């Protein structure tokens, strides 16, 4: 699933293309997923923002077009085999490609996310000043869920998915099954630093393009952070820090990768 670094990369590349342009038309082949976006047609883009894993087109007239890329979605400047929707802007067409068809487009009144509950309850942006170690500690303290599961909920912090939760927990030397509310203050501080460091580097490299090649930037080029993955997708290989064999477990229905020596439960 595209996570914060991938969505931020898309935002940075699409913003110069659509800013100030009017959405002239929306073609799609799935009313259940895209018809709720049709109210955006005819409105000009005032800003292009990101909130967690969501891309938000701020439109004139107090409306927002919210895009969630789902498991396999991407917004491209060229049409692909799995194009599900076409957004015709003045001067450019943006194609919503989505092989697994979990993505969504929805037009909502600005700031009204009642129909998007995950977006409504999302925690602070991890690269913002609002995301402090104290805030992270307070939010983790609200739940007894395993640490990895809590991070994926988007409530302690926005934008982390399977890849970057694994990478941040490895960097912070924290086992993914630790209870979220049981971390010591110094462990929370390590996790806070790790989340920010991993995400900054991933954004710098344009996100992660995995072996399936599903994610690509709007220009069709891949991201490159997968070259620096320490644990994600590397079960059975040597830990780059201590040499121990990396392991995989299923946690909250998601594959989770970790080092049993560096990340002691």
All residues at 6 or more sequence positions from 256 whose CB lies less than 8 Å from its CB, including other chains = 148, 162, 166, 176, 248, 249, 250
Active site residues per annotation:
2-3, 53, 254
φ, ψ (nearest 5 deg) of residue 12: -65, -35
104-109: strand order across its sheet: 45-51, 54-59, 63-68, 104-109
Burial 179-199 (b: 16+ CB within 10 A, else e): ebeebeeebbbbbbebbbebb
Say if residues 210 and 232 touch (Cβ distance below 8 Å). Answer: no
Spatial distance between the Cα atoms of 179 and 124, rounded to a whole number of angstroms? 20
Say if residues 96 and 73 touch (Cβ distance below 8 Å). Answer: yes
Q: How many other β-carbons are positioned within 10 Å of the β-carbon of residue 253?
A: 7
Tokens 């998915």 map to which residue? 161
Q: How many CA atoms lie within 13 A of 54 on its CB side?
A: 25
Q: How many other β-carbons are positioned within 10 Å of the β-carbon of residue 221?
A: 12
All residues at 6 or more sequence positions from 253 whose CB lies less than 8 Å from its CB, including other chains = none
Q: How many CA atoms lie within 13 A of 244 on its CB side?
A: 15
């Amino acid at each position: 699933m595209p996570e914060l670094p991938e969505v931020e990369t898309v935002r940075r590349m699409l913003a110069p293309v659509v800013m100030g342009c009017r959405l002239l038309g929306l073609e799609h082949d799935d009313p259940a997923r895209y018809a709720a976006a049709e109210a955006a047609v005819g409105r000009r883009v005032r800003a292009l923002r990101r909130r967690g894993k969501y891309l938000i087109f701020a439109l004139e007239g107090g409306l927002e077009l919210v895009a969630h890329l789902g498991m396999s979605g991407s917004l491209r400047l060229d049409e692909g085999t799995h194009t599900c929707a076409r957004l015709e802007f003045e001067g450019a067409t943006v194609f919503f490609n989505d092989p697994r068809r979990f993505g969504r487009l929805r037009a909502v009144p600005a700031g009204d996310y009642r129909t998007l509950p995950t977006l409504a309850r999302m925690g602070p942006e991890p690269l913002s000043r609002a995301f402090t170690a104290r805030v992270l500690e307070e939010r983790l303290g609200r739940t007894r869920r395993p640490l990895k599961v809590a991070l994926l909920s988007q409530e302690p912090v926005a934008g982390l998915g399977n890849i970057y939760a694994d990478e941040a927990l490895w960097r912070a030397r924290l086992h993914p099954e630790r209870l979220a509310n049981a971390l010591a203050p110094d462990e929370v501080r390590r996790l806070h630093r790790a989340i920010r460091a991993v995400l900054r580097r991933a954004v710098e490299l344009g996100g992660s393009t995995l072996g399936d090649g599903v994610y690509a930037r709007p220009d069709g080029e891949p991201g490159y952070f997968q070259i620096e993955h320490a644990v994600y997708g590397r079960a059975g290989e040597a830990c780059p820090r201590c040499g121990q064999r990396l392991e995989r477990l299923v946690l909250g229905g998601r594959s989770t990768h970790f080092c049993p020596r560096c990340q002691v439960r």
